[in-house]
Each structure stands twice: as C-alpha cells, then as structure tokens.
Homo-oligomer: A and B are copies of this chain.
C-alpha cells in the first residue's frame, strides 16, 4: 500500500471522535484500534448478536466494520472540517467468517479532493489462525459534496 501524508494534524482525534458517535459501532461492540494516514483498523469480537443463521459473523456485521474502516481511512486524508459519507461499495466474501474476532482494515487506494477510493479487508481469527474472509472496494465522498450531489 502507498504511503500518505495527512493534511490535518488532528486526523486521528477527528476519526476517534466521529467513530465514537457511530451508534452502530457501540451496538456491534467494535473498537477502533489504529488510525494512520490512509489506514484504519477496527476490531470486532464475536458475540451471538453478530451472527447469521449458521452462527458465523453475518455478512452485514462484517460489512459494517470494514465500511467504517474504509470511510475513516478516507477521512484521515481529507482537509479539516470535512465529513465523509459512503457512495457505494462492493464486498466479496471469501470464506465462512467463523472466529473469536474479526479484524477490519481500511486503506486508501486513491485519495481525491471529493472522491476517495478505498480497499478494505476483513480477517477472522480462530484459535490464533488468521483467515482472510472478505474484501471491499469502496467509493467515499466528502459530506458537503454528497449533500449537494445526490
């Protein structure tokens, strides 16, 4: 992955503040583990409330955390006073998401003034073994642009 430089010295505090306002991350039990320029890492411990019908992580739970990881990865590179929204994403599920916790990583692939493209991945960890279970390709936009644009 490319190395990026943040335009905003407070990028990590801004991401942490915004993450804490996401009710869904609290409900799911997700925690924000690492914030770097162009990169965010979220942890999601397994619990019964996250499952689909076979007691794996539900695709929607996986998607929720990797969407937040990608959105905040985009936000780390945006100017001050910008907010970020998701335009669209695609997720491929590569293996049954069974494990004690999931790790979602969002990376910026191509930053932009208004549109930022991100790549995300989700690993599940079971008995200490990591397995790639999902990959995301996402398009993010600054909130100001989104509200005028759509």
Contact partner, A24, options B61, B83, B91, B132, Cβ 8 Å: B61
> A65 within 8 Å of B by Cβ?
yes
Would you give the 0/1 interface string for A26-50, flagging 1 where the beta carbon is closer than 8 Å to chain B? 1110000000000000000001111
Q: Please, how many residues of chain A have a CB less than 8 angstroms from a CB on the other chain?
A: 60
- State the oligomeric state as a number of copies: 4
What residues of B have a CB within 8 angstroms of the CB of A61 in the complex? Answer: 24, 60, 64
> A76 within 8 Å of B by Cβ?
no
> A93 within 8 Å of B by Cβ?
yes
A91 touches B94 (CB 8 A): no
Tell me the A residues contacting B by CB distance below 8 Å.
18-19, 21-24, 26-28, 47-55, 58-61, 63-65, 67-68, 83, 85-96, 109-110, 112-115, 117, 119, 132, 135, 137, 139, 141, 143, 145-150
18 inter-chain pairs at a CB distance below 8 angstroms, sorted by A residue, are A23-B47, A23-B50, A23-B58, A24-B50, A24-B51, A27-B27, A52-B68, A58-B67, A64-B64, A86-B93, A88-B88, A89-B91, A90-B91, A94-B110, A95-B110, A112-B149, A113-B149, A117-B135
